[in-house]
Structure 1
Amino acid sequence: MIDLLFAGVALVLLLAAGYWVRGRGGHRPTGTWAMAALLVSFACAFGSYVSVVENAVESVVPDGGRLLSNSFTLTAATSVLAFMLQLDQEPDEARRNIRRRVLFLGISVTAMTVLFTASQLNDDSPQLYALYVLIYVTYLSVTAKDFGTQTWKQAGHSRRKSQRVGLRITSVGCVFALLYAAYKVFGLVSIGLELDLLPHGVRCSTPISPVRCVFSVTAPAVAVLLVTVGLTLPAVVWPFSQFLRRRWESRSFAALAPLWKDITDTTPEVVLGPAGSQHVDDSDFHLHRRVIEINDGVLALRPHRSVRVQESAERAVAARGLTGTQEGDAIVEAAILRAAVHAKTTGSEPRTGSEPRTGSEPRTGSEPRTGNELRTGAAPAPSRTASRAGNLRAETEWLLLVAQAYTQHETTPTTDPLAPSGTDPRT
């Protein structure tokens, strides 16, 4: 089972590395090669724990699997630092610091190799092995602490949700790495003081048995998996989120077609010029155009917005218990637009919500003296218009509600209920 865990982790890491280095239209994100080195190094480290690989290495160099695994782990730690430096610093400064870190890595691995060899030649000297572990744990702990702090801090400034979640997962992975480092320090103290608290030669049969395997096997495995998932999550989620965005844009574009057609047929002057060839497959561009043309058409129809139709629609919405909701507001707006389109097409005028006067009511000298008269006016724009300004998604979602009500005829009649039949209300 433990071999399956190590082999599985190594395979996942190699797949993640392949995803990072694959071509992306000729462009690779900053830190791509550092991330690939990190993932491959961790994959090699865990691969070296698989029994077949470990036995093959140790048949040549006794206990050589430990040195190999630790060296790959430090290489991965250096790659983490290189990735962080490329994101936080200017290119020239980052290259200088990365070269310095690589130099430290070479010194550390060389020192570990010397101490490992000397320990082998001196009958597994506990003091020499303690120095070996000290170098390894110090390098790993400093890296995990710095990287964990940095990722947690950057998570608070990230605008994309996938980045915030990924960075926080990475930070949790660093905590598990520090837990593993603490276990190694405990072992270091045990070796240095010859307390023999951690017996040698005891292999882990499962990730939790014996108990020390929780710290020596499970903790580093979980740390690597969390760091890998956290750093890879934004890169994996991004294309999926883009696919969902484009699908929503295409569906929204189609859903707005009936409303857009009626408005632009009535006010053709709002239709923008033809799109260039570079925007043929740009769903965001086409949706943006459609939203702009609908809104421009709504503005052009403003003189034909009937207060009477608005009041009638509001009463219907109130009867359904939708007053004050976006759905109710959309039904009212759809009724007004349908009536405005009809009024614009037939040449009629909108009417206010005032009741017709009887012959006994006084009139002012400025008002015309017709028998069944009403003051003319236009219904106001829908509420929350200002809050949607500049927000394509919010404006599209609002227009989708209006378009749904418009096509389902959840509105009042298109004609003004007080307009005289067969006559032009403007006369």
Structure 2
Amino acid sequence: MSTLFSPANVVAMVLFSAALAWRTYQVARAPTLPNWAVTACVGGFAAAFLLQQEAVSDEVDAVFGAGAARVANNALLACAVCALVIFFLGSALGPRRYRRVVVELVPLVAAIALMVVAMAMTPPELRGLPLGPATIHDTGIALFYLGAGLYLIYGMIACTGWIVRYLRVADRDLRIGLRLSAVGMASAAAGSIFRALYIVVAWAFGPVVKVLLLLGVPFVIIGGMLFLVGVTYPGLRARVSALRRRRQHRREHEALAPLWTVLVRAFPSIVLRTPPRRRGERLSPRSTHRVYYRRVIEIRDGLVQLSPYLDADFGEVVATDPASAAAALKRALERHAAGEASDGQAKQVLPAAADDIESDVRPLLALSAAMQEGT
């Protein structure tokens, strides 16, 4: 059990658990074929990883017989690769995808059936043993690993082709991840091809060319690592961007406080009414953006209500001279508080180029900073 819970295995299990939990959440939100396929892919790789651990495989063999863990491990890897192929098919084929998915299940079922038959043909004392010079000349062992390897080669080459097709339409971040994934898949496919050649040469012709097996291992390991980096890169980059944006909104929310405070004091009605939220909702990322946009909207509403007391060029002054705009705003607030008459005309309170809420924020931040400096 100590090997099962080694530091590397614990890290891998945590990552697999987190990925599977996230994919399950995505399926619950949108139970589409691509989402189900990706979740099945992650689940298959995670289960295969557990079955590779000696502590788990020994227990499985003890219950179901020698070699059962090896069959289950390779079958799960094949299912995971098939699910990845189905993901690409489900994303690209539209209404025809379900018929094509059924077609894709045929070679998968054939490969698993071949593995089961080959393991049954293997002498009991050799079942479950790894591929190597001592086992390669047994027909059952050779058929088992060849059948598993050929399906993985097919699936990985198919996925590489789909990834290359998506490169043409992907954005920058996704393109980087897809390139890494394509290189990883191609590398793993190359490693599987080396292993298949090792099996064919040794089984059919006799010579054991160890270099083929030795070459296959690093290609598969490096390919797997590159693929995992590639599939996680876009999501990780998106999370980093989201965190950066959240921090930016928190800072800007605080920076807008001086301007918001004076406007709310003059026009309490601009404060938007919102239903009460639970504590968890208040601490959620969406809440950060919600209160930020709410503050921006309330400031704009306050400026619009105050605009009859402002000059017609106030919006342009905000962009060119925030200090002068802050002084004009204070005078307008004083006139409003004193009950003076206004011209009754709504004015442009922000630069004309500000055509969305994000564009509005820059001049509002400058105006708020000028208001604070003038206090």
Question: Normalising by structure 2, what TM-score?
Answer: 0.69
Aligned match of 2:138 in 112, 116, 124?
124
Deviations 1:382-413 (A, max 9, x none): 9x9233222x1221232122012112208xxx
Aligned match of 2:355 in 389, 404, 408?
389
Cα distance between partner residues in 2 of 1:6 and 1:334:
60
Q: Percent identity?
A: 15
Aligned match of 1:180 in 188, 198, 207?
188
Contact 1:256 / 1:403 at 8 angstroms: preserved in 2? yes
Cα distance between partner residues in 1 of 2:312 and 2:245:
40
Aligned match of 2:152 in 120, 131, 137?
137
Q: State the SS of the aligned residue for 1:303.
A: coil
Deviates more, 1:74-83 or 1:279-288: 279-288
Matched, 1:198 2:229: no
Structure 2 unpaired stretches of 5+: 125-135
Change (3 A) 1:9 1:331: same
Structure 1 unpaired stretches of 5+: 157-163, 203-209, 311-324, 350-379, 411-427
Change (3 A) 1:93 1:17: same
Counterpart residue type for residue 300 of structure 2: I
1:177-256 equivalences under 5 Å are 177-194=185-202, 195-198=207-210, 213-220=217-224, 222-223=225-226, 225-226=228-229, 229-230=232-233, 233=236, 247=250, 251=254, 254-256=257-259
1:408-419 equivalences under 5 Å are 408-409=373-374
Aligned match of 1:81 in 82, 85, 93?
85
1:363-382 equivalences under 5 Å are none
Q: State the SS of the aligned residue for 2:321.
A: helix
Aligned match of 2:260 in 239, 257, 262?
257
Contact 1:180 / 1:215 at 8 angstroms: preserved in 2? yes
Report how far residue 73 of structure 1 moved. Answer: 1.4
Counterpart residue type for residue 332 of structure 1: S
Change (3 A) 1:44 1:218: farther
Matched, 1:106 2:109: yes
1:234-383 equivalences under 5 Å are 247=250, 251=254, 254-261=257-264, 264=266, 275=273, 277=275, 282-283=290-291, 286-297=294-305, 299-303=307-311, 329-342=321-334
Report how far residue 39 of structure 1 moved. Answer: 1.1
Counterpart residue type for residue 124 of structure 1: D
Deviations 1:162-186 (A, max 9, x none): xx63663354134223212101212
Question: Normalising by structure 1, what TM-score?
Answer: 0.62
Report how far residue 132 of structure 1 moved. Answer: 1.9
Counterpart residue type for residue 304 of structure 2: D
Matched, 1:46 2:54: no
Higher-helix-fraction structure: 2
Contact 1:176 / 1:223 at 8 angstroms: preserved in 2? yes
Cα distance between partner residues in 2 of 1:274 and 1:381:
22
How many residues in Structure 1 have an aligned counterpart in Structure 2? Answer: 337
Partner of 1:206: none
Aligned match of 1:33 in 9, 32, 36?
36
CA RMSD of aligned residues (A): 4.5
Contact 2:45 / 2:80 at 8 angstroms: preserved in 1? yes
Partner of 1:169: 177
Cα distance between partner residues in 1 of 2:308 and 2:341:
15
